[in-house]
Every structure is written in C-alpha cells, then in structure tokens.
Amino acid sequence: MTLPAEAAYVVVGGGTAGNVVAARLAEAGHEVLLLEAGPDFGPEGSPAWPADLVDATRLGRSHDWGYDSGDTYPWTVGFERARAIGGSSDMNGCTQTWGHRRDYDAWAEAGLAGWAADDLLPLFEEGTRRMRVRRYLAAELTPWQHAWYDAAPAVGMPRIPTLNDLDENAGFAPEDVNIQDGVRVNTAFAYLDPARTLPNLTIIGEALVDRVLVERGRATGVVTVHRGETRTVRAGTVVLAGGAYNSPTVLLRSGIGPAAQLAPLGIPIVRHLPGVGENLHDQPFLLMNWEGSERMATQMDAARAAGWAPDEQAMGKAASSLETEAFDLHFLPYSPTHRGERTRWSIGTSALQPRSRGHVRITSTDPEAKPVIDHRFLTDPEGADVRMLVDGVEILRELAATPALAPLVGRELHPGPDTFTRDALVAHLYANPDNYWHPVGTCRMGLADDPLAVVDARGRVHGVEGLRVADCAIMPRVPRATTAMPAVVVGENIARMLIEDAA
C-alpha cells in the first residue's frame, strides 16, 4: 500500500491501544493513517499471520522488538514487546483483569478529569465485548489450576466468580481471557478488522516513526522510515501509541524531553519536559516452582489428552501487610512446563503497587537503536516492593503446605529451602529481580504545574499543540491489574476525547 503524504490523524503504533484509537477515529468519520513499525499481516484468518502470534496456548516471540535490561543487571532480563500489527496483544498470556476502583479514582482525585472508575466502567465493558473475552468456568480448570483454586480459602482467599469486580478485594477466580477457538484475539482482530474496509482508514506496516515534526509549537507531521526510505507525512494531529518504551523514545528524538539528555545527542530542544522517559515502573514478579507429584502428573496428562489445557486459567488476589485499601498481590498458577528433563510446577506472585521507579532513555538519534530501559526493580528506599513479594511468597508457602495441596505440589524447588528464613528470602529477591510484563508511566498524565507530567488528562503533550499520547505510558501509576484491558481502555478514552474535541 502507498504511504500517503498527509492525513488528518496520524496514529503512531498499531499496538494494543493504537488500534483502538485508529479504529474509533475512523468509525467516527475522521481520516486516519495508522503507522506500524512491524508488518501488517492483514485481517484475522489471513495465512500471513505467524502461528505463534495467534495460538493462545503459547507466548509468541517471532516478532519481538528485542528490548532487554542491557547491562543494568548482572544478567539479561527480556522485556518482550511485539513489533507487528496488534502489538503486545499478539504476545500476551490472554489474561484480562481490570484492577480496583481505587486505581482509577486516585487518578481522578489528582485532577485528571474523565479517569474515575465510573467514567471508565463502560469502556471496560465495551473493551471486553470487542475483545471477545470469555470467563472460564470452574469445571474447565485443569487439575493444577483447580488445586490452587480449591485450596485458596484456607489462607483467606475465597473462591469468587470473577476477578473483575472493581469493588472486590481478596479472592481466587477463574480468569477472563481473550481467546476464541484457541485463537488469541488481539486488537487488530477486535478493532481494526471491522474498520479495514472504511475508505478513511489507511494502515501501513513496516513504517518506523523516527520523530514528530513540530513547527511554532505545533505538531505538523512525522518522519518515518518506510521500507528503507525516509519519508515525511503531514498531519493535523499526531497520536503516539508506541507503549511505555517506544512513545517516550519518539518524543525524545523529536526534541521533547529533558534538555540535559537531548543536548549531548545534538537534538534541538523543542520542549523541555523533564518527565519524558521517567516514572517507568512494572510490577516485580517471582516465579516459584515445586517438584510436583505422580498423582498431579497423571491428572494433567489426562486433561491434556482430553483437549484444551492452557498454562494459565485462574488467578488469586490478596493484600500484603502494607496494603490498606484493596489488594496488592497477584498469584498466578502455571501448569507444568518442561525445561530439560525436569518438569516444573509453578505459581508466580507479583507486587502490583510498586514504589520503585526507573527510566527509558536514548543514546542515539537512530530510531533502530535500542533504548536504555532500566526499571530499577526493588530499589525503593523503604524496601516496600520486596516486603510485598515476601508476603506473597509466605502466603503461597502457607497454601502449599495445606493438607489439600501438599501431596500434590511436593517439595519446593525455587526459591527453595535455602530461602526459608525471611532474611534469606529478601536477599534472594534483591539478587533476582524479575518483571510481570506490564510497563507503564513514561509519559505520565499530570496537571500543567507538575514539572514531571508529560501529558494532560486528555493525553495532550504539555506545550505542544496537536500531539497526544494514548497508551500505558500515560498512566501515573500502574493499576492492580494485568495491563492488557487497561491499555484498551486508555485507547477508548483518548479516542473518545479526540472525537469530542473535533466536534
């Protein structure tokens, strides 16, 4: 398809939120150009779609950006993001959670109008419908999932019908998932496909946006590399939707960000915004493993032989000793996986409200150069993030020791008996940080007098007309959720605001 020279709206990034924005604008009658750095494989069912991106039984990796922790840790931690139409909705585990009312009400209480839970609830419901989300029945859970679900009340987590009651706290429930007939329903299928035939929507793959053009304080277009050729596309409004890693890097290459970082790279300062690339955070995670049992192995083999037996089906939520208003822990059972000759039986815990903050920075003006991504996991001075994880581990150990679970899970392998004292567990966590794949915050919303705010409550970049951000980068603080559906809701809400502002 030919790259247009101009469009009323240029949406940068055909990922989880960008597809929502592009489709909603086009459905409202606006001229939209969607630029995706990776390939556009076409509509659902096209043979061009890689099998790993549509198969909901596995995590796709065929079109990864290749981002990782670099030399910020003694080893490399991968930060997988999909470089393809659909973005990270192509690669995720399909778990759809919403968080808690306090997550969004806190944004509104900070002055961000339109982001309270009651404002967003209809968008969560619509996103759930569009993404074809269904809820597993308890009877559908595999034996490994059912074992944790059945035992959860023993440690104060009642069995509940859904994880997505914004007013509910602790509990264990079957998951809501965007899976239909074994296919991972990404936002390209859910949002773009119904709009693909509209004459006012153009989708261009293999178009990496280098930077936004700004003239006299207003965004006027983008510079993109399309199939090896550098081109300029004029725009009435530019909407960045590259995610928590890519949206800030586009801003930085455009001269929008901390002047002290841009000047050494020879990037002319368009707007000094110190918060661009800062406030990066993700929910720290620990995967625990047990040796399992012959009884569980036999039951799981029978479940797989009978048909659908995915790795993720149920989830628990609970409060650590630090939490006072809702919950701040997730528990995520994994069915056994095989690594080498050892069968792994796993459940993960994540601290959902981290205090630690990191950053995304560029070291080159080359749009293909990897940014420096440093989450600074577990670095908060009070040690709250580690304390949350320690509490999560202790709850899971208590649960694994119950009469119902102990014969099924067997001996703990990781982090293992050497970490059974609290001090040893703390030391292990500090030495082995890991992520839950939910980065947010690098272009965070805030009021105009907030020196570290990048956008306002309508996604408008402070001090630059005609430029918005519409993805998880604008979240001031990560919600108590897996962020796939919250990302859809961000796209829905910014699209709604764009349509209102154009009226």
Q: What whole-number percentage of the chain has pLDDT above 90? A: 93
Please give the average per-residue pLDDT across 137-162, as a whole number.
Answer: 96
Per-residue model confidence (pLDDT) at position 343: 62
Provide the pLDDT confidence category of residue 307 given band limits of 50, 70 and 90: confident
Which residues contact residue 139 at a Cβ distance below 8 angstroms, ignoring those fewer than 6 apart? none
CA distances to 58, 125, 170, 375 from 163, rounded to whole Å, are 22, 14, 9, 27
Please give the average per-residue pLDDT across 68-88, as a whole number.
Answer: 92
Q: Does residue 6 surpass a pLDDT of 80?
A: yes
| Separation between Cα atoms, residue 255 and residue 273, nearest integer Å | 9
Q: Does residue 77 surpass a pLDDT of 50?
A: yes
Cis status, amide bond into 143, omega within 30 of 0: no
Q: Does residue 417 surpass a pLDDT of 70?
A: yes
Per-residue model confidence (pLDDT) at position 115: 98
Sheet holding 329-339, edge to edge: 171-174, 314-318, 329-339, 342-351, 285-290, 412-414
Per-residue model confidence (pLDDT) at position 338: 45
Closest CA to 241 of 214, 212, 201, 198: 212
Mark whether 438 is an active-site residue: yes
Q: Does residue 270 surpass a pLDDT of 80?
A: yes
Q: Which of 330, 428, 438, 462 is catalytic?
A: 438
Residues 336/289, Cβ–Cβ less than 8 Å: no
Please give the average per-residue pLDDT across 370-392, as a whole number.
Answer: 97
Q: Does residue 336 surpass a pLDDT of 80?
A: no
Tokens describing residue 151:
């035992």
pLDDT in tens, 16-59: 999 999 999 999 999 999 999 999 999 999 999 999 999 998 88
Q: What whole-number percentage of the chain has pLDDT above 70? A: 98
Q: Does residue 61 surpass a pLDDT of 80?
A: yes
Mean pLDDT over all residues of the chain? 96
